[in-house]
Amino acid sequence: MASLLVLALGDARALTADEVNRAGRPVSTKGKMTRPSASIVKAQTLLARQGVSPGEIDGLDGDRYRKAVAQFRRRENLGDGDGIDAATWRALLGDASADIVSDYRVLKEDVKSRFSRHIPHDYARQARLKQLGYRTPHEMFAERFRMSEGLLRTLNPGARYRKRDETLHVVAAGRTPPAAEARLVEADRTNGVVRALDAAGRPFAIYPATIGSAATPSPEGEYQVVRVVRNPTYHYDPVKNFQQGRNKRRLVIARGPNNPVGTVWIELSKPTFGIHGTPEPSRIGKTSSHGCVRLTNWDAEELAQLVKPGTTVRFVE
- Catalogue the active-site residues: 276, 292
Nearest to 134 by CA among 121, 144, 124, 125: 144
**Whether 162 contacts 111, CB under 8 Å:** yes
Helix, coil or strand: residue 108? helix
Helix, coil or strand: residue 316? strand
Sheet of 193-197, strands arranged across: 203-208, 193-197, 184-188, 312-316, 221-230, 264-268, 274-276, 293-294, 210-211
Element of type H or E holding 67 = helix 63-75
Torsional sign, CA 298, 299, 300, 303: positive
**Whether 169 contacts 103, CB under 8 Å:** yes
**Whether 223 contacts 270, CB under 8 Å:** yes
Rounded Cα distance between 274 and 182, Å, is 16
Torsional sign, CA 84, 90, 93, 97: positive
Amino acid (one-letter) located at 310: G
Distances (CA, A) of 235 to 206, 242, 286: 28, 12, 24
Rounded Cα distance between 289 and 212, Å, is 5
Half-sphere exposure of 241 (CA within 13 A, CB side): 20
Strands 312-316 and 293-294 come out as unpaired
Helix, coil or strand: residue 66? helix
